[in-house]
Amino acid sequence: MLKTIILATAVLGATVAIANAQPLKPIEASTIDLGETHGYAYYVAEAKGYHVIATIETGATPVRFATTLADGQSASVSVPASYGEKPIEITFVRNADRLEVLRAAPFDAVTASTR
């Protein structure tokens, strides 16, 4: 019974991750959402890998994140949250000739124990 519950949870988690996937197209900017913070991301296929560029609007000065991903690699960008809350995070994932943006679902506040 426990194995069935664990398997069902794993399948559900994989389904949620796929549902939150947003494919990117080369040289075509897509909107990315980090809660109240927004931005744009695109990539360029280069000899060393996919050069990913994300520009995040922070209010006064935009922030640019850049990385080059080979097949099977990933990179994350996050926005901090209030104490006890999980930050909002997106992850760029490269699989063969596909680049996706995954957004982690927000979780309830985490409580700490001093035991």
Closest residue by Cα to residue 49 from 75, 14, 88, 16: 75
Determine the Cα–Cα distance for residues 67 and 74; give it in Å rounded to an integer: 9
Looking at residue 20, what is its pLDDT?
A: 60
Looking at residue 48, what is its pLDDT?
A: 94
86 by Cβ neighbours in 10 Å (0-12 / 13-18 / 19+) ranks as middle
Looking at residue 13, what is its pLDDT?
A: 37
Looking at residue 111, what is its pLDDT?
A: 37
Looking at residue 73, what is its pLDDT?
A: 97
Those residues of the chain that have pLDDT short of 50 are 1-19, 107-115
Provide the CA 14 distance to its chain's centre, in angstroms: 14
DSSP character at residue 28 = B
> pTM (2 decimals)?
0.68
Looking at residue 10, what is its pLDDT?
A: 34
Per 3-state DSSP, what percentage of the chain is helix, strand, and coil (rounded to 5)? 15, 50, 35
28-43 pLDDT tens trace: 888 888 878 889 999 9
